[in-house]
Chains A and B, each alone.
Chain A
């Protein structure tokens, strides 16, 4: 094009457009993507995404003298689309400056497909902007029920980020109280909650972060007599337990009820994480058929742990939960991810279902509830190593 032919796109403000649309027959064209349109749109607008404008506009607006008001999110895509229309011979195309962002800021009305309140649409906008999430995905998060075993090193960051994401119900199992030495890594707790139960300290932080989240506290230790009742109401369980007996108990119960478990552990500068999806991938016992004797499995209070390890692995746990709830991406099913903090290195190992697994193998028989988590052939089962 020569400079004299350069297209200059006319613009009007959202307020001007709104007033014009009340009384005229102008055609209102929205050139964004479908998930944005579902989240918020202007009444009476027609959606044609940018890639389709040239091919679909003539069917939508056959008369090239028809006045067209065009908008997008911020004004950029619509300006480009307006140039396209004008180069196709449309005589009267006007861009709404600032797009639907400016429209909303000027207090003008929008419609939405979503069940989110206006406050939620604002709070979760960084989620709903993602095509893989959208308002439908945010609704899934708000309807999800996730149980956290432990509100300690791993549970703390997981709880914070799942609450931030809008997970609708978060259960917290922890019978411990906050100790000052926890504050080196359990960032959900604080000085003023030292000496109080971890579950209520976590609840307080969650409620101050996101009132959309319902928190349920389980201020007792899980055992074979109560675990099925506790986990049955949840969609996903996050294992941040501090001892082996609970991990094996959780495994046996979660396979029984077909609940996925996101499981991580940390020590020193090392972390491990995997996701156990009953019968689709291996279970915890497929990976670790027998627990190590106590002298070969030191705890963090004996060995120490770099505080950030809790955050690293806890966030990876939250990441797994997000993928499972939203049904996007690839969860760590059949994959064990190792993280080593001194070199900042990730290693991925393959985990297979064990054909002889006594819990999820093809020849496994249903064990009585009283035997969940037990090892009939292992007499010194973690004797004296039950965590606090």
Chain B
């Protein structure tokens, strides 16, 4: 079985498990939308302030709850399953790619729903021509966050309290993604050019992909 066949098989099974358990669609996403709702309630009836903070709250809630999406595999991955994959001859890099693929699909869907909810709840003043940069920025941030979560899951595999430890790894390293994603919209509003921020997101995604693939084997061997 080729590298990509292995990666796609792992992604396919991950998606099937998500469809059955609904970790993202039935647990994380509703709570994230509730979190979006809490901010306007706390601010009262100051509609202009609510409208102003909408995109910032979207990114804050998106990253915090998106971390749960990104780390869901770390929480469910058992040592027996990891051993089984090794003994079936699965390339650890293919496993990383497969999990990043399925996680990215879920994360993109998660951020898309969250974005729609933010627009409805906050009525933000968005600059003209916002949809394409906002969607592209969210898409790139979603991929990076998933890669980061998958990588953090691998780094902490076999450790006690791995979910908590993985979160501690993800939060600081997600900063380029938060900055790149949020500044894409800001730069559009200020008319200062969005390209540098999109490039920051692309570079971060690529760096995480290279690190994930290159470190997959050593991390798997070290986790036992």
Pair from one complex = no
Write the residues of chain B forming the contact surface with A, with a CB cutoff of 8 angstroms. Answer: none
Write the residues of chain A forming the contact surface with B, with a CB cutoff of 8 angstroms. Answer: none
